Structure 1
Amino acid sequence: MTASLPLAARVDLRRQPIEEVLERVEQALHVRLNRHALIRKRRSLGAPTERGTWVRIERRGFERIGLQGWNGTEAAAVLQKIAMPEWYRGMAWREPGEPVMWRADELELIASPSVGTGARVVTDPGLPEAWWTELNASLDALAEQQTPRIATPDTVTITQELVTGTLGAVFPGVADTRIERWAPAHADLTWANVMGPKFSIVDWEDWGMAPRGLDAATLWGNALAVPELADRVHRERRADLESRDGKLMSLFFLSKIVGPHACAEDPLREPARKAAEHLVAELDARGGPGSSG
């Protein structure tokens, strides 16, 4: 199975030698990275610098880079009224002899840590009221922006065809999957990409136009193991999540948990299954596309 994947997908930066990459970035950006605080993920690296900034490094194969490029973090610097790190500078280069690009961005260092150590949370993080206020203000402001970019959740360009194919494979009972409203979205709004207790959204490399409710559905779905937290997300983003597009995006997220590759030990599986049944029934009861909220 692994051998059939593109080379870029087979490389895991948590296990690969990375010193040459770190040295290249330091020389190009004229910074010194704190190796002791380095965070290694499958396709990205991150570390604070000696001048109090943060550097994010990502490796991405050509097959995951669309026509718009992949300078999302830099492009997000123009967004207004959103709690997010300030972008300072960046660089990119091609891996010699391979269909792979590297990118490094230097950004403002956010004092608060990620709310979640991973995409999901399994305990209530106890977020203050100000956090929810900033979440709403930022997501509302984001939806009012304009961009030619198309969002790439999980590094895949989101299209009507993708939504229809995904939902049709997992929830064939949903007859009408047409998206009515598209708006700018972060496209990876997991608990690892929101900071707290002071609110901020990080990792903007995949932002762009997406179906309404994608971000709210992603945050809500990743909180399903903590019912009170999932309910709070739903209350705060009710307008998005109760719209027809929002329900479709909720199912789009849930398809990853209850679909053919579902994991029996996943703590989200059972609440996701129940939520999916409820959403499918609601969409079926509402009928055609003219009932968007």
Structure 2
Amino acid sequence: MREGFQRDGNVVAYTTSGEWLSAVTTDPRMRQVLGRDRQRYRDATEPVVRHRFAARLALKYTAAAALGTEAVELDLAYKTGGRPHLRGLRHVDVSLTHTGEFVAVGVSRLGRIGVDAEPLSRALSFDVLLDRVCTPAERAVLQALDVPDRRAAMLRLWTLKESYTKALGQGLRLRFTDFDLSACIERDVPEAHGTGLLAPDGTPAVRGAWGFGTYRALRRWLISVACHAHGPAPGAAAHGIADDRSMALVSGLLSGDPHPSHEGVGPAQGPPQGLKAWGSTGGPRTR
């Protein structure tokens, strides 16, 4: 995961909450990572609430693996409106989504990132949502599809718009009809993140632009990603909001070494098995 994060500047990981919930009761490290959330976790009786704590653990372990530090060293907090962030690490952006037992998280050092997930089986009301969430161009694309394809296309569009507004920190406060992703609707949905994020016109995303991707996970869920990379196009001298040297420094400060070497950043403490991750290129990888 760290190698992909260093190479691509962002990483998205997915898992299921069950193994994390069981690990909390058996692994002392997990209880330590929960920190001040531990008592709230113990007091929670509703499964949906406990799933939220599992999602937070997955985010902390993913960020730790990407940054080359330990999950216990990261302090996860929430901004006004509920957007997660890592306290004290303003150059690292994170996003979190969970639906049922499924959890997906995103971490980026290039710019804003947002992730959203839904079950592939979710049946959205096409007629109801068509006018409420779609621009005229999006409606035209959707209505031109065969009826069996419309539900899947609407689900994809919904998750893409959710991921974009999450990246902006707006959530549902930004009306979905205020921005257009019609060019993203008809793309194939791969089983793995193997093609990289794409611009709305289908070309590879470059720095200074928004990139989008939608992928199947575990054959049951759909993940959409929106990521903005600050800076010029690849090949120019400038870097994103946090380059490799600054990421190495962050890792060193978190681990207690103020002068880390680039190669000397140690591996992060491991999460439960099953956490799968990918960067903006390449297929899924396990930690």
TM-score calculated relative to the size of structure 2: 0.26
| Structure holding more strand per residue | 2
Q: Which has the higher contact order (CA 8 A, sep 6+)?
A: 2
TM-score calculated relative to the size of structure 1: 0.26
